Copies of this chain bind each other. A is one copy, B any other.
Amino acid sequence: MEFCTFKHTARIEVRYAETDQMGIVHHSVYAVWFEQARTEFFREAGASYAQMEAEGFSSPVLELNVQYKSPTHYGDFVDIETTMEKVDRLRVRFHYKAFVDGKLCTTGTTLHCMLKNGRPSRDLPESFNKFEFVKE
């Protein structure tokens, strides 16, 4: 597998609205956090996703996988470590690990294709040139 040499950890505070009546963060929320972690991943790498969209690119999610190991709670700060894998010329997969106080709570992946003006594109956004990939 080819992984990007850049990694990022986003810190997200649990919002009250994200809890459910079990007293824990609802399982659907992690997909929203992962997306926020991707936004920060791009920005920290100097490659704004908002700008990529303005250039006609979009990167819809093809697959989502989440493994819930232990719950997170209102009051927690969740650290989400994000890495990017190049699957092939048309697809990338992001890998996420969510920690609270250093304890791994949740892992997940999202698989994305790259569209330009709504069509599959081998033509990557210019800012992707910033990323280097290495075999792992």
Contact = CB atoms under 8 A, between A and B. Distances in A.
Interface of A: 13, 15-17, 19-24, 26-29, 31-32, 35-36, 39, 48-50, 53, 58, 60-68, 71, 74-75
A78 to B, nearest CB: 14
Give the copy number: 4
By secondary structure, the A interface counts as: mixed
A62 B107 CA distance: 11
A77 to B, nearest CB: 11
B74 A21 contact: yes
A31 B30 CA distance: 10
A3 to B, nearest CB: 22
A99 B23 CA distance: 26
